[in-house]
Structures are given as C-alpha cells and as structure tokens.
Structure 1
Amino acid sequence: MNRTRFIQGLNSNIELSDKERRRAIRNSINKRPWKLNCTIAMEEFAELTQQVSKQIRGYGDRIGLIEEMADAYICLKLLESIFNISPEDMQKAIDVKMDRERKR
C-alpha cells in the first residue's frame, strides 16, 4: 500500500464492522485462487520478518512495522478461511500455546 495513503488511513476515523471484515476476506478468497492467496500470505510474513529484523538492528520505523503486522494479521485470517479453521479451533490452539508460554 502507498505509505502516504496508509498514514492517512491511520489518521482517519475508519472502523470496519466484523461483518465488513469477514466480507473483505471472503471477497479476497473469491477473487484469487487459494494457492495464490497462500503465496501472498507467505510473502507478507517475509515482509514482517524484514521489519522485525530492522527493529532489532535499530533502523526500523514504527509505521512500517504496524503496516506489515496488519498485513500478516489479514493473511492469517485468509488462511483460517482457506483451510476452514474455525475461530474456536484457532482460539483453543492459541490458548494451548499461551498456557505453555505462561508456565515458562
């Protein structure tokens, strides 16, 4: 996304409903083959990795990090839908992982 447009969006009052978010995910899935969406997800995760690396090395920027985190989050939602993973199954998996983290 164009950086200026992204910053303008951050400063706007845009707030989608859950229904609008689900519709956007569904539209993305219907527009492109599932394998292409999976490839895009992998690319977005790689871009997030690069942003985190820049943060560690001290020359990343907060806006870039937030943008890539948002892209990765959206891609996770796409993958949940593509692979038919229910919110309940995902939450259970997260809770199992969080419980392990809590016990460390």
Structure 2
Amino acid sequence: MNRSAFIKGLNSNIRLSEKERRRIIRRSLEKYPWKLKCTVAMEEFAELQQQVSKQIRGYGDQLGLLEEMADAYICLRFLESIFNVTEGELQKAIDVKLQRERGNL
C-alpha cells in the first residue's frame, strides 16, 4: 500500500465491524484463487520478517512494522478461511502454545 494512503487511513475515523471484515475476506476469496492468496500470504510473512529484522538491527521503521503486521494478520484471516480453521480451533491451539510458554517462564 502506498505509504501516504496508509498514513491517511490511520488518521481517519475508519472502523470496520467484525462482520464487515469477514465479508471483505469472503468476497476477496471469491474473487481471487485460493492458491494466489496463499502465495501472497507467504510474501507478506516474508515482508514482516524483514521489518522485524530491521527493528532488531536498530534501523526499523515503526510505521512499516505496523503496516506489515496488519498485512500478516489479514493473511492469517485468509488462511483460516481457506483451510476451514475455526476461531475456536485456532484459539485452543494458541492457548496450548501459550501454556507451553508459561511453563518456560
């Protein structure tokens, strides 16, 4: 996304409902092939990886990180839908992983 358009959007009063977010995800998956969405997801995760690496090395861009995190989150939503992962299943898997993390603390 164009940086200035992203900033303009951040400064706007846009606030989508969860229902509208799901509708956009569904319509996008109807329009584009699922394999394309999977490929885009992998590319977005790689871009997030690059932003995190820049943060670690001390020349990161907070706005760039935020944008890539948003892209990755959206891609995760696409993947949930493509592969029929329910919110409950995902939340349970997250809880299992967090329980393990708690054990490592």
Matches within 5 A, 1:68-79: 68-79=68-79
TM-score normalised to the size of structure 1? 0.98
Shift of 1:33: 0.6
Aligned to 1:53: 53
Indicate the structure whose relative CO is greater, using CA pairs within 8 Å and at least 6 residues apart.
1
TM-score normalised to the size of structure 2? 0.97
Shift of 1:93: 0.2
The amino acid across from 1:59 in the alignment is Y
Aligned to 2:12: 12
Matches within 5 A, 1:19-98: 19-98=19-98
Aligned to 2:103: 103
| Partner Cα distance (1:16, 1:50) in 2 | 28
May I ask how many residue pairs the two structures share in their alignment?
104
- 1:69-90 per-position Cα deviation (integer Å, ceiling 9, x unaligned): 0000000000000000000000
Which contiguous aligned blocks of 4+ residues in structure 1 show a shift greater than 4 angstroms?
none
Shift of 1:65: 0.1
The amino acid across from 2:22 in the alignment is R
Which ranges of structure 2 fall in alignment gaps of 5 or more residues? none
Shift of 1:27: 1.2
- 1:13-49 per-position Cα deviation (integer Å, ceiling 9, x unaligned): 1000001000111011111111000000000000000
Identity %: 73
Aligned to 2:3: 3
The amino acid across from 2:94 in the alignment is I
CA RMSD of aligned residues (A): 0.5
